[in-house]
Amino acid sequence: MSVGVLEAMSLVVRREMRLAFRRPDQLLQPLVFFLIVTTLFPLSLSPELSLLRDMAPGVLWVAALLSSLLSLETLFKGDAEDGTLEQLTLSAQPLVAIVIAKTIAHWLLSGAALVLMSPLVATALAIPVGAFPTMLASLALGTLTLSWLGAIGAGLTVGLRRGSVLLSLIVLPLAMPLLIFGASATDRAIGGEGSAGALYFLAALCVFTCTLAPFAAAAALRITLE
């Protein structure tokens, strides 16, 4: 009996999860990086709460961006190196669907984990509890968008030996709006102001990238496989 697209996507997500939990070092590396970078700031700066609170959105978002980048390179590289990407490509399932499944799995393993960890970091940065919902929502949207953008970069650089630098050069400029509006949303929430505008913008970016990025990443992978 043939397999439907959703069933195949679910299989890919489960495969990625299993692989990630078999290699916990790769899973934990971006999270530990996020934790270390964000906790270094309170240690290195004056412990004055107002100063920490002012810097918190920027620190939080830069750390989230950089730690997400750490795991992006591995999105397709492992599969390309061991030949399983060819098997996936010839699996009678649309490559776009496979890219979507792999990107969602990547976000669940890196972005979502980072979002769950962020209240701990936010406490160290003196972010008030009242700002947590906005911070969590903005980080969730931002990291998901970053995963979609990263899928394009990872698809383009998968065949390159030192692709990580190029991947950063491709993804970081595209991620600037995320940084600006994500930090702005968190900052406004800390100040007790409305942050709906920035969140809507992040949500629009997320929808835009998740609509186009899978096609771009799939096209990049096809070129790489040739």
Partner 1 sequence: MNGAAKMPEPAALLTAEKIHVWRGERHVLRGVSLKVESGRLLHLFGPNGTGKTTLLRVIAGLLRPEQGRVCWDGRPIGEAREQYQSAMAYASHEAALKADLTALENLRYAVGMKRRASETELRAALEETGVGGCADLPARVLSAGQKRRVAMARVLAMRASLWLLDEPYANLDTSGGALVSRLLEEHLDRGGLALVIAHHALELGRSIDRLELSP
Q: Among residues 11 and 112, whose Cβ is nearest to partner 1?
A: 11
Site string for partner 1, 164-203 (x = CB under 8 A): ----------------------------------------
Q: Closest approach of Cβ 86 to partner 1, in Å?
A: 6
Secondary structure class of 21 (helix, strand, coil):
helix
Tell me the residue type at 67: S
Q: Which two tokens stand for residue 91?
A: 């699996």
Site string for partner 1, 65-94 (x = CB under 8 A): -------------x---xxx-xxxxxxxx-
Q: Which two tokens stand for residue 120?
A: 């701990």
Which residues 6+ apart lie within 8 Å of 117 measured at CB?
A: 31, 34, 35
Number of residues binding to partner 1, judged by CB under 8 A: 26
CB atoms within 10 A of CB 140: 20
Q: Among residues 39 and 89, whose Cβ is nearest to partner 1?
A: 89
Buried residues in 61-82 as b, exposed as e (16+ CB within 10 A):
bebbbebbbbbbbbbbbebbee
Q: Residue 219, interface with partner 1 (CB under 8 A)?
A: no
Cβ atoms of 117 and 34 closer than 8 Å: yes
Site string for partner 1, 5-34 (x = CB under 8 A): ---x--xx-xx--xx--xx-----------
Binding site for partner 1 (CB under 8 A): 1-3, 8, 11-12, 14-15, 18-19, 22-23, 78, 82-84, 86-93, 225-226
